[in-house]
Chains A and B, each alone.
Chain A
Amino acid sequence: MTIAAAQLDHYRRELSALGAQLPGSGLTWVEKTRQGAFERFAQMGFPSARDENWKYTRVTPIEKRAFRSMPKSCIGLIPEDLERFFFAALPCHRLVFVNGQYTPQLSEPGALPGRATVCSLTKALADNPDRLEPYLARYADADANGFTALNTAFMGDGAVLYLPRDTVLEHPVHLLFVATTQEELFVNPRNLIVAEQGSEATVIESYVSLGGNGYFTNALTEVVVGDNAEVTHYKLQQEHLSAFHIATLQVQQRRNSRFTSHSISFGGSLVRNDINAVLDAEGAQCTLNGLYLGAGRQHVDYHTRIDHTKPLGTSREHYRGILSGRARGVFSGLTQVHAGAQKTDASQSNDNLLLSRDAEVDTKPQLEIYADDVKCSHGATVGQLDDDMIFYLRARGIEAQAARGLLTYGFAQDVIDRMHLAAVRTAVEEVLLGQLPDTDAIKGLVS
């Protein structure tokens, strides 16, 4: 038992106080799901260092606090306040969530083609609960750890995107999660993306703060990619530097489906992302790309897991980390090829750049193969900026600082270049130039 009785009581009181305000209240199956998950949370508590998957990531700072959900309240924000988090050059179906609440006056969901829908979880459960029942909380394992259990117990507003057969979304869906309040705020965004056979969509999740600090985002997104369907998922995590961000992306892939994730982690003091993809039918293709930045005392942890359970699946994983100051990075990537998943083609790489002596990273790429006719590779590197490269640039008149900036930026560029949406690339590049060490000197040059 790794949760103090007082803490458990606190969260139990929170849950019952929220009661009817939570999405799907009054629906028996939803309430059962919440109750069951809370009991699992009570049993498991928060992950501890004894848990192999949490060996390098201590969550004591989260455990010690008594986070609270925000009651529904009027938030005096206007769209202009958030403009810098929108993608000016890219029309999107936009849903904005402020301190855990869907905020219609800041959102512009627009019209979706055919019978496709995108709306808040609250609305989806009110309008058409039967459609959600086969999917919601069916793929993400509430038992995975205390955080997924807690999210499922408290599932709050996130978005539900439903794409009927053969529906193709021209514009991406942008889900913007904003925190504005101080300390102790606790939000549990819950998103569900269901892409039926032959459908296609791109979803962008952004996590940002407007003055909020010390809050805790505990997010969970489930994605079901149907036969021949294609989902591209972007996540830009730009939480306040004092915030806690824990998130799971759970993906279920059907026959010949294609799923791509680009996950970028900039903010947060303690960050953990679990990305799990199950390639549960023949011919599924999965691509996981990611970039994590850590400075100061930031701690950022990515745990990815790809399960090839059926033949002819392809997975490509490419993660990079840049750590400076006293930051700590953790990368654990498990690709498991199950018995019978013949002709699986899987590759994985994780490269890390350490910009200071006190920065650290633990990287653990893992391949577990139980089939014999497969093509798999993996590799991990941890290095510093290359002296020969720095000298080459300086020998051309480029200042030492700009040389380091160019090389650091170039290291990140490798991940950015894989993103198809130019507007997102530009937004990410801007943040990179504001946040990477030594990039002041190259701003005019690369943007």
Chain B
Amino acid sequence: MGDSRMLSIKNLHVSVAGKHILQGIDLQIMPGEVHAIMGPNGSGKSTLAHVLAGREGYDITEGEITYEGQNLLLLAPEERAREGIFLAFQYPVEIPGVNNTYFLKAAVNALRKHRGEPELDAMDFMQLMKTRIKLVGMNEALLKRAVNQGFSGGEKKRNEILQMALLEPRLAILDETDSGLDIDALKAVAEGVNRLRSPERAIIVVTHYQRLLNYIVPDHVHVLAQGRVVKSGDRSLAEHLEEEGYGWIEKEAANA
């Protein structure tokens, strides 16, 4: 019988610029599951997200990551994206001079090409775009601008969710996509994510707030502290954290 896990992270150690940031992460994710990752600032959540997306500049000193049966660490970032991994960035970068529509079309067609599907022409692409942009409630004027340039914090996050809605990843990683969003934007993000939920897909939600988890109900909640998963539980763990903060967990971890 084959391994049914979608993502398996074993004893992952990562250093950046000589600093040991992830210190032995273990995480197993099955298709169809939603995992929330919480934890104090600087605990390594974004580092983990970036390592999964294939960012260069991280030293993986120990451990392994298997995605759908293959060694993820051997794949370039664009190959991972084409294999269905999507990272919604905590801080989406502004790209002057690169038109948002051209960019989205390039991304969609790169994926379609990889799947052996015909590339979308300008008309078909705009059609698809129209339906998706409504879904995430993004202002159409933003399509004509350079990628993220001069976008407000909330507009950048919606643009991330628009990309997710267009690319329909199998493993979506949302890195604090809820931070700085007003309540309507939060609902739009949650809707975008929930629309994607299916037995074949998995979602990792990195967040500081229970608020988002009211809309995207997680199957598992993990607490990351100092580069380790120090506690895992069900959705009630998130509620508990909201009330108590992280102090008790750090104490518990120290006593263990």
Q: Which A residues lie at the B interface, using CB under 8 A?
A: 386-389, 391-400, 402, 406-407, 409-414, 442, 445-446
Q: Give the distance to chain A from B193, nearest Cβ to Cβ, in Å.
A: 18
Q: Which residue of B lies closest to A446 (CB)?
A: B102
* A-side contacts of B105, CB under 8 Å: 445
Q: Give the distance to chain A from B59, nearest Cβ to Cβ, in Å.
A: 16
Q: Give the distance to chain B from A411, nearest Cβ to Cβ, in Å.
A: 6
Cross-chain contact of A397 among B89, B99, B111 (Cβ < 8 A): B111
- A394 with B95: CB separation less than 8 A: no
B78 CB–A CB distance under 8 Å: yes
Number of residue pairs A-B, CB distance < 8 angstroms: 87
- B78 with A399: CB separation less than 8 A: yes
- B103 with A406: CB separation less than 8 A: yes
- A399 with B98: CB separation less than 8 A: no
- Given A387-B56, A407-B98, A414-B97, A402 contacting B76 (CB threshold 8 A): no
- A411 with B81: CB separation less than 8 A: no
The CA of A284 and the CA of B78, in the complex, are separated in Å by: 51
- Given A391-B56, A391-B77, A396 contacting B96 (CB threshold 8 A): no
- A411 with B97: CB separation less than 8 A: yes
The CA of A393 and the CA of B86, in the complex, are separated in Å by: 12
* 29 A-B residue pairings within 8 Å (CB atoms): A391-B53, A391-B56, A391-B77, A392-B93, A392-B147, A393-B98, A393-B103, A395-B55, A395-B77, A395-B78, A396-B107, A396-B163, A396-B167, A397-B78, A397-B114, A398-B107, A398-B110, A406-B98, A406-B103, A406-B106, A407-B95, A407-B97, A410-B96, A410-B98, A410-B146, A412-B97, A414-B96, A414-B97, A446-B102
Tell me which residues from 104 to 158 in chain B have a Cβ below 8 Å from any Cβ of chain A.
Answer: 105-107, 110-111, 114, 146-147
B92 CB–A CB distance under 8 Å: yes
B203 CB–A CB distance under 8 Å: no
The CA of A392 and the CA of B87, in the complex, are separated in Å by: 9
* B-side contacts of A414, CB under 8 Å: 96-97
* B-side contacts of A393, CB under 8 Å: 95, 98, 103, 106
Q: Known contacts A397-B167, A406-B102; can you find 8 more A-B pairs with CB under 8 A?
A: A387-B56, A387-B57, A394-B78, A396-B106, A398-B78, A398-B110, A410-B95, A412-B97
B54 CB–A CB distance under 8 Å: yes
Interface centre among B55, B98, B107, B163, by most chain A C-beta atoms within 10 angstroms, is B98
Q: Give the distance to chain A from B104, nearest Cβ to Cβ, in Å.
A: 8
* A-side contacts of B147, CB under 8 Å: 392
- B93 with A389: CB separation less than 8 A: yes
B82 CB–A CB distance under 8 Å: yes
The CA of A400 and the CA of B110, in the complex, are separated in Å by: 12
* A-side contacts of B96, CB under 8 Å: 410-411, 414
Cross-chain contact of A395 among B53, B99, B102, B114 (Cβ < 8 A): B53
Q: Which residue of A lies closest to B98 (CB)?
A: A410
* A-side contacts of B103, CB under 8 Å: 393, 396, 398, 406
- A396 with B97: CB separation less than 8 A: no
- A396 with B110: CB separation less than 8 A: yes
